[in-house]
Amino acid sequence: MSGDGDGGASVRRLADWDADRLRALAEEYGTPLYVDDLARVRANHARLAAAFPDAEVLFAVKANAGAHVLRALRDAGAGAECASAGELARALDAGFDPADVHYTAVNPPAEDLDYAVSVAAAHPALTVTAGARDTIERLDERGFSGRFCLRVHPGVGAGHSESVSTGKDAKFGVPADEAVEVLADADSRGFDVVGVHAHAGSGIANDQLDEHARVVATLANVARATATDLDLEFVDVGGGFGVPYHEDEAPLDLDAVAERTRDALDGVDATLTIEPGRYLVADAGVLLTEVNTVKRVSESVIAGADTGMTTLVRPAMYGSYHPIRSLVADDRPTEEVSVVGPVCESTDVLGEARDLPAPERGDLLAVGNAGAYGVEMASQYNSRPRPAVVALDGGESGVARRRETLADVTHAEDTADTYQEP
């Protein structure tokens, strides 16, 4: 990689990736292919930790749960924030100390809650977060008496779209005006109440710092109101720190975020906890895909690729923009090209009207900022196997997740006990 894979620059653009190396990886491992650069993951963590020197940093595992990513962040000093039993299991398998792990599920299924309570019993340093009175009752019914954090609904949201503006969504957390009462209830049940938590949303930008600060101030008010009765260890302000997906978009002013956060917590005697996900891994990943079909219709140029919404669903689900770069020689004339996938859906579009070299079959394309919520949200829709993932670390590379086969797609049916062909 060229540029700052192991440096401190606040943004890594798609143009900063070394085209020759990406072409070599595609040649060796095939396409579609996710590529994660662990040096960049570590650099992003170091920059964040420098901006928040006194904070506990927990990686939001849902952004990228690959064992290679988890181990890199564990070694860098991060903890893990887990939204499901599966993420909790993967964090523990990756070697995170349970004292550095928070389980923060929303409306957890019974099996998930059973597992979390059993883990907490075996590892009392684990912190369990709940965002509903019912969840507190369900924990109590299971005999939970461990470290407890309450998720608060601040009524204020931010993020790259309404779909991820969780701070405004009543699905998440106990209303702020009920938080003190609910914390007292958890304490009376014998829970070890250690913190409060809230989250504004995913993809917070520079122009949304007011909303972020209001969420933090809401938590600060709850912490102050409970100070005489409870000795809170931490105030968890969530993550959601955004990254620039558009080429001309400025990077997040992390120092400004940190300053606004500290100001909003003024006077609160508790450790600050943050839960970055996207910020640590998004620009550390690219998705490589090969053009297999070129179609010219009227004034439109369509490049059909071997990957689409089953591999990277964010454009179809959220209308998200991801930069696209052609890795062919740059001496071709450019034109407006729409890059589409092989799925039988009109929403199966990676990018529309992009200024790219005139496409030809066999061209290799790179899709940027694919390290967060890329492979994690990949599916087998249309019975398509999910792609391989390659991890880079300096000059080394290796398969972190093998490419699925058609046999993998049907494995759960082939191994079922019923409905087999006689």
Nearest to 326 by CA among 349, 300, 285, 356: 356
Is 277 known to sit in a ligand binding site? yes
- Could you give the CA distance from residue 38 to residue 230 in angstroms, rounded to a whole number? 40
User: Given 170, 297, 329, 344, which residue is catalytic?
Assistant: 344
Nearest to 288 by CA among 15, 38, 25: 25
- Could you give the CA distance from residue 87 to residue 51 in angstroms, rounded to a whole number? 27
- Could you give the CA distance from residue 325 to residue 388 in angstroms, rounded to a whole number? 20
Sequence-distant (≥ 6) Cβ neighbours of residue 233 within 8 angstroms:
194, 195, 270, 271
Is 276 known to sit in a ligand binding site? yes
Output phi, psi for 193, to 5 deg: -75, 115
Output phi, psi for 388, to 5 deg: -80, 160
Interior/surface letters 219-251, b for 16+ CB within 10 angstroms, e for the rest: bbbbbeebeeebebbbbbbbbbbbbbbeeeeeb
- Could you give the CA distance from residue 202 to residue 164 in angstroms, rounded to a whole number? 6
- Could you give the CA distance from residue 397 to residue 29 in angstroms, rounded to a whole number? 10
Catalytic: 82? no
* Contact yes or no for 34/370 (Cβ under 8 A): yes
Question: HSE (CB half, 13 Å, CA atoms) of 406?
Answer: 0
Is 314 known to sit in a ligand binding site? yes
Burial class of 269 by CB neighbour count within 10 A (0 to 12, 13 to 18, 19+): exposed
Q: Which residues are annotated as a binding site for pyridoxal 5'-phosphate?
A: 240, 275-278, 373
Catalytic positions, written as ranges? 344
Q: Which residues are annotated as a binding site for substrate?
A: 278, 314, 318, 345, 373
Q: Which residues are annotated as a binding site?
A: 240, 275-278, 314, 318, 345, 373
